[in-house]
Structure 1
Amino acid sequence: MQNIDYNRFLQVLRETKGIHNSLNEILKYDFIYHSNKIEGSTFTTEALQLLFEKNIVQGTHTLDDVQETVNSFYTFDLVIDEVDKKLTLDMIKEWHGSLMYRTKLYDMGLAGVFKKYSNKILGSNFNTANPWEVEDKLSDLIDSYNALQNVTIDDITRFHFEFECIHPFQDGNGRIGRFIYLKQLLDNRLALKYMNGESAKEYKKALGNCSKENIKPLFDYIENQKDFINENIDMF
């Protein structure tokens, strides 16, 4: 990462919330486009802009894809507002409730609620936590993370892998996991390299090839991604 004033970057990121073509908006569109595309969203960056700015849906999408995309804008704002605050269980549940607002999961009463039945991640070599284990395992993971003195990208990568292993919610785990990941990078003033929707298969393969003893596949994937800050250094 180039020699940058990270605190200045965060200041501009906060101050430009709601401003068209600003640093905040550019990051919002880019991050949401890539994170949602990993989950199968068919929104382009241009369609995201139309949806956010004019409430126009361009293209063919499921109702949940449209609603979750709209919700992603508000969830992104919650995440940025909570940069430099301690990560908590309630924070994560609030983000999930925001992301799933008015979706099928919301109608089932499961938005912001830990999963009620077991699920598995297809194509991976790990099983997810049982419903009765979720809260304790997630609390332990958060406590261990918060106890770290100098958080590195290795620590954040490991957290992301273990969060996805726990898979605490019935749906939306990938998106929430990546929102947490974004906050962790910003909290610790690390290079803003996040998962790319164009390489979703490689990202999922990297996750599936990891284990508690070896997170190198995911670490290597992340290291190969672009750094948003370096690419937009002229914005601040």
Structure 2
Amino acid sequence: MGGSTTTKPNDVSVAMASLIGKYENKETFSFEDIIEFHYNFEIIHSFHDGNGRVGRLIAFIECLRHGIVPFTIDESIKLFYYRELKEWKNEKGYLIDTCLAGHDKYKKLMGIFEINYSW
């Protein structure tokens, strides 16, 4: 993940089991919880390539699973997204704000296609 220290390959399965176990034991899920899970998935870096796409897809599905309008990261905010993943340990709000911008764009897209949501 762009110069960040990721999990050693031999430790990935244990790290993933721990991450998923902690996440699934939560009683309630917020947008921020999903972003935190996404960050932790990214830092484990399970795959040689495609971690970001897989991680964003998982976050998208988790939003849907928990009744939250999902977010997408398009080209206009991708550089902010990458920078803020690196800054997560210092300041979580930046990544959350960028994902909320993607969340707002997705809401607009839903409006264009007249997709109603009550979440």
Q: TM-score range by the shorter chain?
A: 0.7 to 0.9
Deviations 1:187-218 (A, max 9, x none): 0111222222222111101111111x742221
Percent identical? 25
1:219 to 96, 104, 109: 96
> Runs of 5+ in structure 2 lacking a partner?
none
- In 2, Cα distance between the equivalents of 1:138 and 1:215? 21
Matches within 5 A, 1:78-157: 121-122=1-2, 124=3, 126-157=4-35
- In 1, Cα distance between the equivalents of 2:37 and 2:13? 15
CA RMSD, 1 decimal? 1.7
Question: What is the aligned partner in structure 2 of residue 11 from structure 1?
Answer: none
- In 1, Cα distance between the equivalents of 2:91 and 2:32? 11
> Runs of 5+ in structure 1 lacking a partner?
1-120
Q: Secondary structure at 1:224's aligned position in 2? A: helix
Matched, 1:190 2:48: no
CA contact (8 A) 2:77 2:98 kept: no
Question: What is the aligned partner in structure 2 of residue 208 from structure 1?
Answer: 86
Deviations 1:129-170 (A, max 9, x none): 001110000111011111111100111010111111000111
TM-score when normalising by structure 2? 0.85
Q: Secondary structure at 2:71's aligned position in 1? A: coil
Structure with higher Rg: it is 1
Number of residue-to-residue matches in the alignment: 113
TM-score when normalising by structure 1? 0.45
Greater fraction of residues in helix: 2
